[in-house]
């Protein structure tokens, strides 16, 4: 097993552990995982091909769809309160 696969597997386990935390404790580790993911996705795509990179990107977007939507609206000046109220 290559080091890249081992690190990617540890990322998946860490993401699973963060998902089990209470919502108020997910923010900091979740952002750290979200920032590390594009680097891992790029390295996986470079090492194993674009199909693996595409699959990893799809999985990342699926896992982080709500935080990505929130940050996208925040960065583009959209209404983030609408997203927050929708979760209550």
Of residues 21 and 84, the one with the higher pLDDT is 21
- The tokens of 33 are what? 């995982």
Under the banding of pLDDT at 50, 70 and 90, the label for residue 9 is: very high
Distances (CA, A) of 73 to 57, 66, 68, 80, 87: 20, 11, 9, 6, 16
Task: Write down the pLDDT at residue 10.
Answer: 96
Of residues 6 and 69, the one with the higher pLDDT is 6
Break the chain into its structural domains and give their ranges.
3-87
Q: Over pLDDT 90: what percentage of the chain?
A: 61
Where residue 79 falls (left for φ over 0; alpha for ψ -120 to 50; beta otherwise) is beta
pLDDT in tens, 46-82: 999 999 999 999 999 998 888 888 888 888 877 767 6
pTM here is: 0.78
């Amino acid at each position: 097993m290559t080091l890249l696969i081992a690190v990617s597997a540890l990322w998946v386990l860490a993401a699973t552990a963060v998902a089990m935390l209470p919502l108020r404790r997910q923010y900091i580790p979740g952002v750290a995982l979200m920032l590390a993911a594009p680097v891992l996705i790029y390295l996986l795509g470079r090492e194993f091909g674009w199909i693996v990179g595409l699959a990893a990107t799809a999985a990342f977007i699926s896992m982080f769809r709500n935080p990505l939507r929130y940050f996208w609206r925040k960065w583009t000046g959209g209404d983030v309160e609408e997203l927050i109220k929708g979760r209550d």
